[in-house]
């Protein structure tokens, strides 16, 4: 159940099928991300893929008959039309066409009728229609899916396709469970089931052991996770700098070197990142120090190349040295920027208060006081002030003392744009207690495990005040693993129930997941070796992108 490996295998297969010779990879806007997330350019170079072109990039590509064309595109109308044109006037010697999802027969027919030069050698469906962020995390990279709290119709279709492609890539035909309170989750579940029924020959996977389970959740159930400041490396980078298809833009960092304006954080090519993306900020500092020291000893060794022996050691460790020096400068820059932001924006104080609010043990009066102080602090950014107010809104939604007016005034004074001031009300409609099944703030027990956790917390004290929050998804999946997830709140679609504990689990969060949740699932995978859990979302949110999603959600 490795989502990333699945995409890599598909791409390997494409390249292998075209045989030896110079190749060009023809892609569309979306598949280009799908490929670039799992493959580095140098890796595909070695396989003779020398050029990368966009099928939707206008008709200015040159004719190069000595190239083989591997065409990997989504099965959209536009792509089929473009491809028809391409085949009528072929620019390359031969074509190997791969669609990233199910394509109607009529489209195949249309293409066949255009291939008058007989250049097409293969035409297949390879179900790599999702961004494989890591082995167990995927994203569909779609934002703004809500329209008046319901699906935007085209989006529903696209999400259904993306989600079903993960099932096909991993060869799973799961039972479907969905969040009962969400009509959108229900509709998506229905669509997936319809597809599985319609393409029953495709979804005919025999599996040993219990049937896999797909659990569909709605972001509205837990608006807290995307609002919090994060302290694990990956989540923190996304929160403070933003990760887009493994790329982080550092263009806004003061005095940044030109080659560092955009860096790539990929678990496939960057060992340090792979090993440390779930480490928290303090640990990262230690790790980077180790890396630096290693680098410095190596560098020192290299500066005094005097004897032949020195020379030899230099040559022997050269490739490794180069690799380290690249990684060092990259991560030092990123971490340096993170600490600058932490200090500049008072993030420690903010995060502490955030965590206390969501832990549910802070009473209104205290909270009110501390928030007023923090928001008044000029170092606190308006975004951070806003997220505090939003958390406050959720936490004290039903509290008679709730005073949203004061905070609205303070935010206005901080210069927050007028439209953002509507967000607290929007959030109450989006993820308020009227919609939610669970109490996010633990004033009553969610599950036996959450209860146990609180108990031990009470006894042993909190180990780390900045990372107390455990996302709801972790509780839900934990219950699902133990086959204790409540049936009425998360019913099975179609009445077939799983009697035993599931082994393979897909979790899908419509409205977007968070890296915090990805980390939580990673922890569950480690703790339950007999289970394999994958999590995905329509996108991966940080606070900023979540607020956009929220703002658009009930915009008429």
Partner 1 sequence: MSRSVPRSSLTPQRPTAAEVVVREGFICPICMQDLGTIDELQEHFERDHTEEDKSILQQLKGMLLKKVGRSTSPTPERRNGGGGLSDDEGGGFHNDQLITWDPQDDGDVTSHTEYFRKIRDNRMERFMVETNKLIIRLDKLVHEAPSDPRQRAVFEKHLASWVPDHDVPVCPGCGKTFKRFMRKHHCRLCGCVICTECSRFLDEAFVERLTNPVGAALSRSDDSSRRGSDTKPGPGMKRSNSSESLMSIMASMGSKDKEQVVRACEICRGLLDRRLKQMDEKYEKTELEELNERIVFAISDAENLYPGYQEMAASLHAGETNFQLQQAVELRNQLMRLFDTVDLFGKRVAALPETTSPVEQKLRSKIRMNAMDFLKSHVLSMSVLPSPEKCEELQRTRREEIKRNMAAKRAADDERKRQLLSRNNHHDSPLSARKKPDKPKTASKNPFDRSTQKGSSSNPFEEDESDNDDSLNPFAADDDEEVPPKTKRPETAGRQNGWAAEPVRADELDQDDDPVLQQIEIVKKTIEQAKRAGRMDEVLSLSQNLSDLTLFYKQQVLQQL
Q: Does 461 bind partner 1 (CB under 8 A)?
A: yes
Contact string (CB under 8 A) for partner 1, positions 178-217, x = contact: ------------------------x--x---x--------
Nearer to partner 1, 10 or 146 (CB): 10
Q: Is 92 helix (H, G, I), strand (E, B) or coil?
A: strand
340 sits near partner 1 (criterion: CB under 8 A):
no
- Contact status: 139 vs partner 1 (CB under 8 A): no
Residue with Cβ nearer partner 1 (259 or 418): 259
CB of 442 to partner 1, least distance (A): 15
| Whole-number Cα distances in Å, 428 to 151, 306, 435 | 19, 70, 9
Q: Which one of 197, 448, 455, 462 is in contact with partner 1 (CB under 8 A)?
A: 462
- Locate all alpha helices (DSSP H) within 153-221, ordered by sequence: 153-169, 183-198
Q: How far is the CB of 401 from partner 1 (least distance, A)?
A: 26
Q: Nearest approach, Cβ of 520 to partner 1 (angstroms)?
A: 10
Backbone dihedral angles phi then psi of residue 67, each to the nearest 5 degrees: -105, 145
**Which of 33, 54, 81, 122 touches partner 1 by CB under 8 A?**
122
Shortest reach from residue 5's CB to partner 1, in Å: 6
- Nearest distance from residue 539's CB to partner 1, in Å? 21
Both tokens of 482, joined, read 């133990």
Q: Please, which residues have CB within 8 angstroms of residue 156's CB and are 6 or more apart in sequence? A: 187, 188, 191
CB proximity list for 347: less than 8 A, separation 6 or greater: 229, 341, 384
Q: Candidates 258-266, 315-323, 438-446, 479-487: pick the segment binding partner 1 (CB under 8 A).
A: 315-323
- Smallest distance from partner 1 to CB 331, Å: 14
Taking the C-alpha atoms of residue 346 and residue 281, their distance in angstroms, rounded to an integer, is: 15
Segments in 471-514 forming alpha helices (H): 472-481
The residues near 145 (Cβ < 8 Å, ≥ 6 apart) are 151, 152, 155, 159, 510, 511, 538, 549
Distances (CA, A) of 36 to 127, 130, 257, 496, 539: 16, 12, 24, 39, 17
**Contact between 182 and 221 (Cβ < 8 Å):** yes
Site for partner 1 in 473-532 (CB under 8 A): 519, 522-523, 525-530, 532
- As measured in angstroms, the least distance from the Cβ of 279 to partner 1 is 5
Per-residue interface string for the shown chain with partner 1, residues 8-37, x marking contact by CB under 8 A = -xx--x------xxx---------------
Closest distance to partner 1 from the beta carbon of 159 (Å): 19
Residue with token string 């292998």: 16
- Tell me how crowded residue 65 is: count the other CB atoms within 10 A of its CB: 10
Q: Which is nearer to partner 1, 359 or 386 (CB)?
A: 359
Q: Which stretch binds partner 1 (CB under 8 A): 103-111, 382-390, 392-400, 403-411?
A: 103-111
Q: Is 276 in the site for partner 1 (CB under 8 A)?
A: yes
CB 112 to partner 1: min, Å: 4
Contact residue for partner 1 among 105, 206, 304, 499 (CB under 8 A) = 105
Which of 77, 118, 258, 418 binds partner 1 (CB under 8 A)? It is: 118
Locate 367 and state its tokens: 């909270």
For the bound state, the minimum distance from the C-beta of residue 225 to partner 1, rounded and expressed in Å, comes to 15
Give the number of other Cβ atoms within 10 Å of residue 449's Cβ.
16
Q: Is 113 in the site for partner 1 (CB under 8 A)?
A: yes
Interface residues for partner 1 in 42-81 (CB under 8 A)? Answer: 42, 45-46, 48, 50-51, 61-62, 64-67
Q: Which stretch binds partner 1 (CB under 8 A): 129-137, 411-419, 436-444, 490-498?
A: 129-137
Count residues contacting partner 1 (CB under 8 A)?
A: 97
Token pair recorded at residue 120:
């097409």
Least separation in angstroms between CB 42 and partner 1: 6
Any idea what the Cα angle at residue 501 is, between residues 496 and 504, rounded to 5°?
85
463 binds partner 1 (CB under 8 A): yes
The one among 54, 81, 135, 402 contacting partner 1 by CB under 8 A? 135
Q: Which residues contact 213 (CB under 8 A, 6 or more apart)?
A: 174, 175, 176, 177, 480, 498, 502, 504, 505, 506
Does residue 421 interact with partner 1 by CB under 8 A?
Answer: no
Near partner 1 by CB under 8 A, which window of 271-279, 399-407, 482-490, 493-501?
A: 271-279
Least distance to partner 1, CB of residue 435, Å:
29
Angle between helices 347-359 and 364-376 (to 10 degrees): 160
Taking a C-beta distance cutoff of 8 angstroms, is the pair 167, 175 a contact? no
Distances (CA, A) of 269 to 164, 227, 244, 371: 28, 30, 16, 42
Exposure b/e, 474-496, CB count within 10 A at least 16 = b: bbbbbbbbeeebeeeebbebeee
C-alpha dist (Å) from residue 303 to 23, 290, 295, 299, 307: 42, 20, 12, 6, 12
Lookup result for tokens 């029924």: 197
Least Å from the CB of residue 426 to partner 1: 31
Among residues 78, 262, 316, 403, the one that binds partner 1 under rule CB under 8 A: 316
Q: Is 460 a residue that touches partner 1 (CB under 8 A)? A: yes
Strand, coil or helix: 514: strand
Applying CB under 8 A, which of residues 242, 261, 289, 318 lies at the interface with partner 1?
318
CB-based contact 532:538 (threshold 8 Å): no
Footprint on residues 374-403 left by partner 1 (CB under 8 A) = none
């Amino acid at each position: 159940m490795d989502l990333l490996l699945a995409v890599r295998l598909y791409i390997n297969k494409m390249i292998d099928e075209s045989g030896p010779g110079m190749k060009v990879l023809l892609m569309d806007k979306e598949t280009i991300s799908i490929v670039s997330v799992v493959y580095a350019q140098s890796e595909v170079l070695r396989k003779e893929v020398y050029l990368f072109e966009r099928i939707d990039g206008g008709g200015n590509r040159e004719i190069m008959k000595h190239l083989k064309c591997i065409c990997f595109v989504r099965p959209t109308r536009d792509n089929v039309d473009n491809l028809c044109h391409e085949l009528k006037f072929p620019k390359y010697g031969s074509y190997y066409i791969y669609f990233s999802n199910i394509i109607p027969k009529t489209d195949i027919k249309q293409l066949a009728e255009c291939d008058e030069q007989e250049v097409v050698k293969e035409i297949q469906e390879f179900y790599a229609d999702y961004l494989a962020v890591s082995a167990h995390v995927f994203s569909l990279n779609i934002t703004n899916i809500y329209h008046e709290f319901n699906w935007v119709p085209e989006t529903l279709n696209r999400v259904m396709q993306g989600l079903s492609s993960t099932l096909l890539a991993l060869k799973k035909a799961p039972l479907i469970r969905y969040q009962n309170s969400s009509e959108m989750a229900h509709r998506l579940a229905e669509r997936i089931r319809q597809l599985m029924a319609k393409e029953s020959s495709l979804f005919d996977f025999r599996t040993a052991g219990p049937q896999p389970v797909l659990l569909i959740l709605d972001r509205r159930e837990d608006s807290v996770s995307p609002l919090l400041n994060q302290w694990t490396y990956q989540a923190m980078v996304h929160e403070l700098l933003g990760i887009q298809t493994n790329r982080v833009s550092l263009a806004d960092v003061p005095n940044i070197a030109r080659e560092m304006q955009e860096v790539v954080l990929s678990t496939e090519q960057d060992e340090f990142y792979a090993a440390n993306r779930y480490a928290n900020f303090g640990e990262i500092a230690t790790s980077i120090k180790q890396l630096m020291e290693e680098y410095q000893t190596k560098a020192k060794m290299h500066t005094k190349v005097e004897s032949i022996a020195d020379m030899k050691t230099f040559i022997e460790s050269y490739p490794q040295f180069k690799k380290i020096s690249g990684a060092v400068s990259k991560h030092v820059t990123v971490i340096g920027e993170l600490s600058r932001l932490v200090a500049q924006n008072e993030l420690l104080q903010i995060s502490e208060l955030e965590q206390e609010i969501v832990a549910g043990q802070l009473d209104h009066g205290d909270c009110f006081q501390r928030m007023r102080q923090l928001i008044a602090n000029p170092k606190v950014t308006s975004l951070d002030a806003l997220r505090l107010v939003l958390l406050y809104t959720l936490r004290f939604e039903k509290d008679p003392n709730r005073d949203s007016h004061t905070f609205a005034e303070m935010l206005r004074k901080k210069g927050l744009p007028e439209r953002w001031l509507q967000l607290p009300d929007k959030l109450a409609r989006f993820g308020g207690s009227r919609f939610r099944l669970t109490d996010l703030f633990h004033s009553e027990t969610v599950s036996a495990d959450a209860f146990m956790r609180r108990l031990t917390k009470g006894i042993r004290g909190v180990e780390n005040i900045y990372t107390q929050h455990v996302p709801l998804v972790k509780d839900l999946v934990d219950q699902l693993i133990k086959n204790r997830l409540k049936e009425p709140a998360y019913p099975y679609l179609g009445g077939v129930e799983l009697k035993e504990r599931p082994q393979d689990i897909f979790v899908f969060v419509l409205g977007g997941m968070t890296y915090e949740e990805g980390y939580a699932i990673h922890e569950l995978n480690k703790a339950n070796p007999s289970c394999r859990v994958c999590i995905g979302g329509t996108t991966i949110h940080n606070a900023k992108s979540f607020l956009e999603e929220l703002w658009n959600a009930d915009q008429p």
